[in-house]
Structure 1
Amino acid sequence: AHDFTRAYPGSNVLIVACEFCSLLYQPTDLGVGSLLSNGLFGDAVAAVVVRGEGGTGLSLERNGSHLVPDTEEWISYAVRETGFHFQLDKRVPGTMSMLAPALTALSAQHSWNVGELDFYIIHAGGPRILDDLCTHLELPSEMFAQSRATLTERGNIASCVVLDALDRYFASGKATEGARGMLAGFGPGITAEISLGTWATGGGRPAALTGAEARRPA
């Protein structure tokens, strides 16, 4: 979306995230991975508009991806006669020690100190993910207030988490012109997808994430 709006400045792009984690619900599977999946994950649909020009929101300036080698099987889905079964390696909760350096490195490439940004829209995989990230980035817990609210009220809604947290940041009224921030999502792989940008309030900055909204199906 960022590349498209840079190539076509007058364009708008709609990004839609659709997550139906309940498809993995297996009432007879008493494995740890399945129990965690049933208790933590939720269904959601979320969308955000990326505008090529104008708008209020996060003006995208740098994007990056990071893959932790040899972790492909840490989060996986087994297909059995009863359907999809969630499989979670016991090492997954400790992955922030592997991913935090990637957040630090991308920020450094942008000449920013990752621990001195104004806001963080972070994927809420679970309480430990956020707690560990606070430790590794040397940040107070309240810097992840939007992500913690999403986790508390909606659970881990997968890729919709960051859009829901972004929606909460819009609604908080704390966003100010020129505020520097990070948006980061984590997932199978183990991977991190990261965006850095500056908050714009109706100016001409290119490729701004505007109008984030998330809804959880009844």
Structure 2
Amino acid sequence: MKNIFDDLHLYEIILLFLGVFLFLILCCALVYLIVKKENIKQILYFFAVPILMIGYSSIKEIQVNTLKISMQQSVKELSINPNNSNARIALENVTKKLESRAKSTQDLIAISESHLILENSEKAILYADKALKNQNKKLTNPLNMNNSDDEEEHKFDLKSIETVEKIKTLAKIQQGIKTNPNLLKDKPELIEKLNKIDTTQTKTIKYFDIKYLNQKIN
């Protein structure tokens, strides 16, 4: 399950909680002044501070979600046309912005796939390993292991591990091609390798097919 704070930096989370805390204190103070029938005009100005604190973190969350949508769109465009330079530049920029915020397994997988599309095989493997480590830690957590109500989530976690392994396999194939371009001459062998990778990352497979095999998947 995705944590609502996954996309925020620590200081943004602290700012959010401090904003909520200060807002509650001011509400209590406001009620106290109303009960005492005292002037509340001055305290109302202070409400701007927690509102700004809460608003800043909320805006950051919205911005990150917008960047994620942009990244998905760029990946889709490049899977259709690997030579789309505008989509490639856009994907490079958005990936850089999201790298430092990637905490959850799914976000790390998305960054890994993005680097794969960008031909950054080493970084694709790096983030795939981070996702794998993150997921294994979650699966071996005693609290998660003893929770029988999360069977569906457990299946999802295992599927995530399979996805990561397949991305790593694709990245290694990509590394091999970059190291030895002559591998592209043996199309049947390359096709066989790609066909063995039964993955939900259809955009990535489509990208590989068009980029390296010059044929579209129907």
* Both structures adopt the same fold (TM-score exceeding 0.5): no
- Structure (1 or 2) with the greater strand fraction: 1
Provide TM-score, normalisation by structure 2.
0.25
- Structure (1 or 2) with the greater helix fraction: 2
Q: Could you say which structure has the larger radius of gyration?
A: 2
Provide TM-score, normalisation by structure 1.
0.25
Higher relative contact order (CA 8 A, sep 6+): 1
